[in-house]
Amino acid sequence: MAPAGDDLAQLLALFDLENPEPDLYVGVHPRQVGPRTFGGQLLAQGVVAAGRSLARGNPPVHALHAHFIRGGDVSKPLEYRVSRLRDGRSFANRQITVTQEGEVVFVMLVAFQDNAAGLEHAVPSPEVPYPEELPPLGEHFRGYEDRIAMFIDALHPIDIRFANDPAWKAKETGERLENNRVWMRTDGHMPDDPLLHVAAMCYASDTTVLDSVITTHGLSWGVDRLFAATVNHSMWFHREFRFDEWMLYATESPVAAGSRGMGTGRFFRRDGVQVTTVVQEALIKYFPPR
């Protein structure tokens, strides 16, 4: 794998939270920002804050459940306050409350639990081409620079390989996609700390999980007049993994109603083993052309 690029270095720097006092962590934004704090950044920094509050050798991350309260001011730092709800031998629970100038931006519960032997089963991994057979994300941008500039100009610490057409290309061909299949890994080698691999997956999980909400209707980000804001996001971590190795992110949308759309996703290792489940709900508004 190639050495970590500048964007990945920026991502790892985002995970290096300041700890000015017990149970308080402070995070900053990257150089490339949108109009509000990227949800994946809040998820990633929040899980790092929760994990850093545990003693060394404590159980790994098992689940997280997050609610997005405000958009987040990208010109100001984020304060992550950790509430220690439980510390046990095999279990631990933390609540993370993120504020800016006294206003709550984001709240998340993080559960930690030891992995133990027991019943095992999982749905099979979808059959798609391997990532080496697929073009890098940059090739999908060509010819669309004027329509999806916000995506092109964003931070790209994750190597993304679409196994199907991305939304903007499917829109052009008139194709409606009820699911999306995307290979992902960090764009370079990661440190061995398992918490950082969880944080990187949290960050990446917020990138394509809602695509199927709009591609089911033949729509595309950056092309159609769409507004989206994440309402809540949950993840369950079933097995340990490295996120600098290829993962298939298989997503679909089971329902959209009440101006909200839900996306569900599953991360599979290259050997077909499911490691994580994701569910996200967002406010999504579509403004058809008149």
Q: Decide if 100 is catalytic.
A: no
The sign one gets for the Cα dihedral 270, 169, 9, 42 is negative
Structure tokens at 113: 């639990």
159, 206, 211, 244: the active-site residue = 206
Look up 32 and say whether it is catalytic: no
Q: Is 274 a catalytic residue?
A: no
Residue matched to tokens 């009820």: 178
How far is it, in rounded angstroms, from Cα 171 to Cα 157?
A: 26
Residue of 41, 186, 207, 230 marked active site: 230
SS3 per residue for the chain: CCCCCHHHHHHHHHHCCEEEECCEEEECCCCCCCCCCCHHHHHHHHHHHHHHCCCCCCCCEEEEEEEECCCCCCCCCEEEEEEEEEECCCEEEEEEEEEECCEEEEEEEEEEECCCCCCCCCCCCCCCCCHHHCCCHHHHHCCCCCCCHHHHCCCCCEEEEECCCCHHHHHHHCCCCCEEEEEEEECCCCCCCHHHHHHHHHHHHCCCCCHHHHHCCCCCCCCCCEEEEEEEEEEEECCCCCCCCCEEEEEEEEEEECCEEEEEEEEEECCCCEEEEEEEEEEEEECCCC
Q: What is the CA radius of gyration of the chain?
A: 18
Q: Which positions are catalytic?
A: 206, 230, 280
